[in-house]
Amino acid sequence: MEKFDTIPAVRQHVKRLKGLGKSIGLVPTMGALHRGHLELIRRSKKETEVTIVSIFVNPIQFNSPEDLANYPKNLRQDMQMLSEEGVDLVFIPDEQEMYPEAVSTEFDFGPIEQVLEGRFRPGHFNGVGIVVSKLFHILQPDRAYFGQKDLQQVTLIRKLVKDLSFPTSVVTVATVREESGLALSSRNLRLSEKGRKIAPLLYETLLFCKEELLKGQDWLSLKNEIIERKLRPASIEPDYLELVELSRFSLINSPIPHVPFAICIAAYIENIRLIDNIVISEKQN
Ligand code: AMP
């Protein structure tokens, strides 16, 4: 496994790979790797000739300095996992390498970014747009792999790729979960044992909402009841629990027949912010 931490060195290597006609798969991560990341890597290894994993905790996508400071880091274990997975190249730039000076370019993704994560984490998606654009320019992937767990992020990246004509196919990989249903996340590492026991309630809530919605329950009363009777009593403080119509990623108040939608949640458990979602497409209806 090759390891690069500077842009010129990795660019030169990528140029050589491109010259040999190799297809490149990119898995962008912020490290503290888990089985969710590995699923993206395995998919890339299946579909491309060279798999690159980037590890960079992107400061400009954090809207809370505390969240950035507390973001888990585990580089030694990450490197071991990546080498065991047979990853070809790891790109680990530091902040100075990625942002030698403050970035002044700004993305405005319009209405998509005014709901859910965009609404609760101002500036977050601008930071994501900047770092993904930079990684795409530096590493020139043919395919790039993102998790469905960050549904709004991957939706926005698809739009970015279309709007700016990046020659990269975006692949969405299904959310990997613990047996309890809890979506794997680097942030889970920060939960106490008690927090870990509570956290599966997020996914249970999504499944319960789905079941009730498909029975025809009114969404707004269902949502209020869940927040007041299930989540808050369990010390889960939601930022949002919303239905999103997938083609425009806009909020809806009830499912629309034959229109795919997602149920999305973000909530604090022990001051740690977790997100999850499930997609409900026609086939399941
Ligand atoms: P992160 O390191 O949290 O920025 O995540 C890097 C990539 O892994 C993103 O595309 C995430 O959506 C994806 N990812 C994180 N957790 C999971 C999971 N449980 N299942 C699938 N993909 C995930």
What's the confidence (pLDDT) of residue 204? 98
Question: Which residue has the least CA distance to atom 13 on ligand 1?
Answer: 147
Q: Quote the mean pLDDT of the chain.
A: 97
- Phi and psi dihedrals of 237, rounded to 5? -110, 100
Q: How confident is the model at residue 282 (pLDDT cuts 50, 70, 90)?
A: low
Question: Which residue has the least CA distance to atom 12 on ligand 1?
Answer: 147
- Indicate whether residue 175 lines ligand 1 (CB < 6 A): yes
Closest CA to 123 of 183, 164, 70, 63: 63
Residue type (1 letter), 159 = K
- The pLDDT tens digits for 91-138 are 999 999 999 999 999 999 999 999 999 999 999 999 999 999 999 999
Q: What is the pTM of this model?
A: 0.97
- The pLDDT tens digits for 52-74 are 999 999 999 999 999 999 999 99
132: tokens are 């993904």
Tell me how far the alpha carbon of residue 216 lies from the centroid of ligand 1, in angstroms. Answer: 32
Tell me how far the alpha carbon of residue 215 lies from the centroid of ligand 1, in angstroms. Answer: 31
Residue 284 has pLDDT above 60, yes or no: no
Q: How confident is the model at residue 285 (pLDDT cuts 50, 70, 90)?
A: very low
What's the confidence (pLDDT) of residue 181? 98
207: tokens are 């499944």
Q: Which of 34, 37, 124, 258 is catalytic?
A: 37
37 is catalytic: yes
Q: Which atom of ligand 1 is nearest to the CA of 145?
A: 10
Closest CA to 91 of 140, 160, 152: 140
Residue 160 has pLDDT above 90, yes or no: yes
d(CA 74, CA 96): 20
CA distances from 15 to 45, 89, 166 (A): 19, 14, 17
Testing ligand 1's pocket by substitution, the residue of 77, 150, 187 carrying the most ligand atoms inside 8 A of its CB is: 150
